[in-house]
Amino acid sequence: MYDSHIHLAQYRDVEMMDILSQVEGVIAVATDLASSQRLLDLKRRYDISITAGFHPEQTLLSDAQLNELVDWIRDNRSALSAIGEIGLPQYLRREGKVENEQVYIHLLETLIHLAGELELPVVLHAVYADAAIALQLLDQYNVHGHFHWFKATDDLINEVIKAGHFISVTPDILWNTKTRRVAELVPLEQLMIETDGPWPHTGFDKCDIHGQLSAIIDEVAVIKQMTRNKVMEQIRYNTRSFYQLEAHDENR
Ligand SMILES: [Zn+2]
């Protein structure tokens, strides 16, 4: 199994080694330039796939910082499996902390444009109505998107599916009706699984990645009325083809 979205740089070294022993592979996702650099260092030591980007739910980058990130991504293109995580500040906005939406959209557009130019997919934090803006930009720059921990209206979920993008679900599929709805609507061929670790999912240790992924697979199998093996194999295939991964030990 692959964890298609984990913030590996937020774990301690001993925890990382434990996590990497539990799975076939991970997409280790960055939240800013510092974590992108840290992931590149980790990639030199561990067999991991990494991304570089800027998480939207934090204080915005200045133009100079954005240019620095863009230059860094260009310089390290060959080490990257995607640009991300990028997106729009759904939760900051709800807290009334977004003063100028256009600045966030400009940042997102800059990085999706870059992804198109570098022929990389993007990891998106774009839930609910934000997905519509992301979809338009993906279409404009001809970029393939992974909508991570996705939630939206049925109409928007269906638009993401129709445009051929991928969607991942976390262990909150066990209790969250919105995530269960996503799993119902998304064809198995466009689904991935993730922990978003070290996010604290109720009932799981943040280092129990195998347990979390297994629980998601079990639940998807129930929702889709398919065998566990069929679900696991298809999701494995999806992750490997979306992120263009090399073969690893299949038994983990
Ligand atoms: Zn994340």
Per residue in 105-125, pLDDT tens?
A: 999 999 999 999 999 999 999
Q: Examine residue 249 and state whether it is found in any structural domain, yes or no.
A: no
Taking only Cα atoms into account, the Rg of the chain, rounded to an integer number of angstroms, comes to: 17
Taking the centre of ligand 1 as the mean of its atom positions, its distance from the CA of residue 123, in whole angstroms, is: 9
What pLDDT score was predicted for residue 31? 98
67/3 Cα distance (integer angstroms): 30
Taking the centre of ligand 1 as the mean of its atom positions, its distance from the CA of residue 85, in whole angstroms, is: 7
Q: Examine residue 203 and state whether it is found in any structural domain, yes or no.
A: yes
Taking the centre of ligand 1 as the mean of its atom positions, its distance from the CA of residue 250, in whole angstroms, is: 25
What pLDDT score was predicted for residue 69? 98
Taking the centre of ligand 1 as the mean of its atom positions, its distance from the CA of residue 240, in whole angstroms, is: 19
146/220 Cα distance (integer angstroms): 18
Taking the centre of ligand 1 as the mean of its atom positions, its distance from the CA of residue 24, in whole angstroms, is: 19
Q: Examine residue 8 and state whether it is found in any structural domain, yes or no.
A: yes
8 Å CB contact between 193 and 171:
no
Q: Examine residue 124 and state whether it is found in any structural domain, yes or no.
A: yes
Q: Examine residue 252 and state whether it is found in any structural domain, yes or no.
A: no
113 annotated ligand binder: no
Q: Examine residue 247 and state whether it is found in any structural domain, yes or no.
A: no
What pLDDT score was predicted for residue 250? 55
Q: Examine residue 76 and state whether it is found in any structural domain, yes or no.
A: yes
55 annotated ligand binder: no
201 annotated ligand binder: no
What pLDDT score was predicted for residue 251? 53
What pLDDT score was predicted for residue 75? 98
7 annotated ligand binder: yes
Beta pairing partners, 82: 51
Q: State residue 167 phi and psi, 5-degree precision.
A: -135, 140
Structural domain that includes position 160: 2-242
Please identify every stretch of the chain with a pLDDT value under 70, giving residue numbers as ranges: 247-252
Taking the centre of ligand 1 as the mean of its atom positions, its distance from the CA of residue 7, in whole angstroms, is: 6
- 71: CB partners within 8 A, 6+ apart: none
69/183 Cα distance (integer angstroms): 34
Work out the angle at residue 180's Cα, subtended by the Cα atoms of residues 21 and 146, and round it to the nearest 5 degrees. Answer: 60
Helix, strand, coil % (nearest 5) of the chain?
55, 15, 35
What pLDDT score was predicted for residue 246? 77
CATH of the domain at 142: 3.20.20.140
5 annotated ligand binder: yes
What pLDDT score was predicted for residue 147? 98
86/31 Cα distance (integer angstroms): 8
Q: Examine residue 90 and state whether it is found in any structural domain, yes or no.
A: yes
Domain total of the chain: 1
